[in-house]
Structures are given as structure tokens and as C-alpha cells.
Structure 1
């Protein structure tokens, strides 16, 4: 009797497990596959930007509070970029101060180990953003723009004097000295403007259109998430 009871109990457990596995299989089979990330070509990204004259009145760098410690980890935005873009483990001092590391400046192909030789470039400069629509933003939104760690193409560690030569100029006025990266630079510039709904002027549009001629403009990228 005991053996028959044990056998019946085992059969019930087996049936229950079989039903559970079948249920899991059916649930997984009916779930839709994860949606692929939306993509867009560089040409279409450019076509999505508003073309209008810049308004160059009232800009001051202090209107864009920058290099803040947004997440409270003692590392401000500059240090966060230096840490994330160093190709080796950076050496940190007190209060998250980066002492050394290895940085490759993609604008000019130079490499650096001393952070004093490296600037953190706003791909679309703060003044350019102001002239292209950010003057209408709240200070909070300008702060998020100036410290945009959420989008990889917003901020770059580059050679300091190359960044100084760029200043606040757009692609109609300045391009990276390393000619092989100019297509990438134009795409990054356009993507940042698209992300933050910033306008472009006619000279900028012409320069970007020329840079996108041929295969550059046909390149497909993930649609930039909207900044807010």
C-alpha cells in the first residue's frame, strides 16, 4: 500500500511539473520578440532639423551650469568623462580627482596621459546651443544639456588646444583636423542637435549636406533619444 501511495504521489508531482514547464513554454512562445532599436540615416536625421537664423543675444557661459556632480558620487561631469574615456584604469586622487590615465583624442589622433592636456568638449558648444534654441530653456534644462552623460556623443575628451581652436564654431566654420573622422563628427553633431531639438542655420545645413554626400549620409544610426 505504501509503495502504491508513493508511486501515485510521484506521478502527481511529475504531472504538476510537466504542466508547469508547458505553461512556461507557452508564455514564452506567445511573448513578442524584443523590438529592434529604431534607426535613421544621417540624411534623414539632418532633414529632421529646423533651419532658421541663429539668435546670438544674451549668452553667458554661467547660464549653463556645468561640471556638476549629478549623481552624488563625488565625481563631476568632467571627471566622469575622463574616467569613462580613459583606455586604461585612471589613477584617482581625493574627491574623484583624475590624476592620470590614457586618452585618445579622436579629433586629431593625439594620445595623452595627463588630464591637464585634455578638455571635455561639448560637441555642440554651449553658445551654439544657446543661439540655436537653448536661450528659451529653463536653467534646469540647460544644466542637463551641459552635463549630458546619458548620450555618448554629447561630450568628448579631446586635445585641449584643438578644442580651443574649435571654440563655439559649427561645421560650416570648423571641422576636426583628422579628415578621416569628419563624417563621424558631422553625424555626432547632427545627432546632438536632433536630440535636443536645436535648429541649424543655412550655412550649417549646407556644410552638413556636403559632408553627408555619398556613403556618409547613408549611414544608419540609432535614433537619438530626446533630451529633456
Structure 2
């Protein structure tokens, strides 16, 4: 039997750890800049409680606000091989996240319950249900999203991390989530100023997790991103 914690409890714990100084190795800006009444309406069904949102706001104020650095030199390879087994549990990060986020999973025989073959995703980005079937033409229906996109991270401080730290960032469960494939593709490498989940109830948790990731890896934010995150978190009541 799996033991699970609510996203709010997990984020509260992460926030407390970050504030203690721990560090380990649709789509338009208008969505972020909706009027305050709409933003507060989001909070009514938010997946994050007000205390966690408050902690995220405190955390946000510790993140430097700077301009975006050039994308020069960025490639996916700068963050190590895709879906590494950084926790050394014998299973790569993609399958770890599929197993964590899907329900009713089935696994490929002989893989020690590692390779996920089928499952059901309650997609947080859209609020819809997505069926996952592993296969050349179907695997992309469910993708693993970097909540802080790697290209965005590269332009906001990850260039200054060492190779091991970037690999950890790319495979950190805090920064990974199974998501509806087309919606994840539409997100691309946008930050919170230019893209937010269509499912408004998830926006509080989404920006709180971005804040936690950027704190954990000493990344910075740009002004528009900071302001968009503040608007969302202040509406998480």
C-alpha cells in the first residue's frame, strides 16, 4: 500500500526545509494578470491551503529578481541524460513519476514494477482524466513536465550550477509532474508570467512548486514572473 501526503502537506514541508537553508545537489500573460476578484475566486477551490501559500510568498521574497540571461549554450544535454535514475532505486525518473502520479497502473513484467505500461491520470493542468498506454503512438498522451522548464532555469541561474546539480534539477520529483501531453507541449518553456495551467484550481500549487524549486536550486525570477506569482498566491484563500 502506498503512503501518500496531500500536495499542501508536501509543499509545507518543502518550504520549511528551504527556509532552513537546505539545498540538494489559454497560454497568454493575460491568464496570469486576471483581475483580483477572479484570482481570489481561484483560491476558493485551490489545492493549496492559505498557510502554504503564505509560506510560498515568504519564500518568493527571498528569490532574487533579475533580468533573463541569454539562452546561449543551452541544450537538454546540459542537464544530463533524460530521465536518469538519480535516486538509485533502479528505475528512471520518468517511470518513477508515472508510478507516482497515475492510478491503476500496470507494469511491464520483469521490470520489478518499474516500467509503467498503462494507467489513469487525473490531470492537474486541465482538470480532466487522461488514459495512459505505453507505446510509440500513445506514450506522448501523458508527458512528464518540468514545472520549472529547463530552458527557463538555464536563463535564470542554472548556468552557474555544476553538472551534478543541473542533473538533479532535471530529475527532481519536486520539479516533475505527469501532465496531459498537448497541454504540456503548449506550455513549452514559458514562465508564470506567460503561462498558467488552464485548470485554475491548480494554479496556487503550481506557482508554489515553482517557487520551491527556484529556491532550492538558487535560481532567480524576472519582474513579470514575480508579479504573476504574487497575484496567484495572494488569491489562495
TM-score with structure 1 setting the length: 0.72
Give, in angstroms, the shift of residue 94 of structure 1. 4.9
Give the alignment partner of residue 142 of structure 1, picking from 155, 162, 166. 166
**Corresponding position: 1:185 with 2:185:** no
After superposition, the CA RMSD in angstroms is 2.1
Q: Is the 8 A contact 2:83 2:92 kept in 1?
A: yes
Q: Could you list the runs of 4 or more consecutive aligned residues of structure 1 that deviate by over 6 angstroms after TM superposition?
A: none
Report SS of the residue matched to 1:90: strand
Structure 1 pair 198/100, CA: closer, same or farther in 2 (3 Å)? Answer: same
Tell me if structure 2 keeps the 8 A contact 1:83–1:90. no
> For the structure 1 residues 131 and 104, does the alpha-carbon distance in structure 2 shift closer, same or farther, using more than 3 Å as the test?
same
Q: 2:132 aligns with which of 114, 119, 134?
A: 114
**In 2: Cα distance, 1:90 partner to 1:99 partner:** 5
Gaps of 5+ in 1: 1-35, 219-228
Does the 8 A contact of 2:105 with 2:117 survive in 1? no
How far off is 1:124 after superposition?
Answer: 0.1
Shift of 1:213: 2.5
CA deviation string 1:24-44 (max 9, x = no partner)? xxxxxxxxxxxx964862221
Higher relative contact order (CA 8 A, sep 6+): 2
Give the alignment partner of residue 83 of structure 2, picking from 67, 70, 80: 67
Change (3 A) 1:166 1:75: same
Tell me which residue corresponds to 2:154: 130
The answer on whether the counterparts of 1:91 and 1:101 sit within 8 Å (CA) in structure 2 is no
1:53 equivalenced with 2:76 (yes/no): no
Question: Counterpart of 2:190 in 1: which secondary structure?
Answer: coil
Bigger Rg, which one: 1
Relative to the length of structure 2, the TM-score reads 0.69
Is 1:76 the counterpart of 2:92? The answer is yes
Q: Which residue of 1 aligns with 2:120?
A: 102
Q: Report the alpha carbon displacement of residue 89 of structure 1 after superposing the two structures with TM.
A: 3.7
Q: The residue matched to 1:88 in structure 2 has which SS?
A: strand
- Counterpart-to-counterpart distance in 2, 1:188 and 1:127: 17
